[in-house]
Structures are given as structure tokens and as C-alpha cells.
Amino acid sequence: MDTGPVVVGVDGGPDSRRALTWAADYARTVDAPLIALTAFDVAPVFGPYAMSGSESPKKLEEQARKVLADTVRDTLGPEADVQQYVIRGHPAESIVAASNDARLVVVGCRGRGGFAGMLLGSVSQHVVPHAHCPVVVLPRQENA
């Protein structure tokens, strides 16, 4: 869909910051809305470990909101025109779902791994073959 938004996956790591910058530049160029998306997942815990200090979904969501807001502010500035969404679910599946209405999805090559369920490199590897729109995967920048 060439009239939809540009969606960028953000986890706060250096590759996602590069993806955010690239996506913002592209969105401006094509006059499209920019959506920055962070997803968090709650790992299932069973047995005697179920109550042993695992983070609550509310706490994980608050952390995800903070990471997203801080990353957008620090990368694009406090006045950036970016819609920010935090979704509970696996990051790759959340980005694929967001691609339904997007004109383009942008992700970094490797994730930060800062949230439960986010595996290094697995998000971009899953998004590319499953997205419903074109995908840009920015390569890792070794100096980052």
C-alpha cells in the first residue's frame, strides 16, 4: 500500500536507532506518516518459579514505553512527528501485523534483546518473508 505509513521497529539498540533515522528520512521524502513500534512479550513461567520476581506485564509495558519514547526523542529530537505504539506480543509478529496497512517496514539487522522474547537477529529474519509490504533491513554498522 503506497499511501500507508512507514513502520519502524524500535528496541533502543544502535541498529534500531539507525532504522528509525532512515525511516524518518524516508517518510519525510514520501510525505508519509511515521509509526515507531515497540513490542514486548511476557515469557510463560510455570511451577515454583511463577512467583519468583518475574516482571509483571504492566511493568514490562512501562519499560517498553520508556525505551520507545527515549529512543525517539534521543534519535529524532523532542519535536519529532512520530506515532508511537507499544504492543504486547512477539516483536516479529507485531511488526508483521503492522505491515498490513504499511507502505514500508524498516528494521535493523540485529535486535537489542532487551525485552523477553526478543532474540538477536530473529525479528528481521522473520519479518522479511512474512511482511505484507516491502521491507528495508539496515545492515549492521560495526562502528555503532
* Domain of residue 65, residue span: 7-138
Answer yes or no: is 2 within a domain: no
CB 47 within 8 A of CB 72: no
Contacts of 64 (CB under 8 A, 6+ apart): 38, 39, 40, 86, 115
We report the CATH number of the domain holding residue 123 as: 3.40.50.620
Answer yes or no: is 143 within a domain: no
pLDDT in tens, 7-48: 999 999 999 999 999 999 999 999 999 999 999 987 666 555
pTM over 0.75: yes
Residue percentage of the chain with pLDDT more than 90 = 62
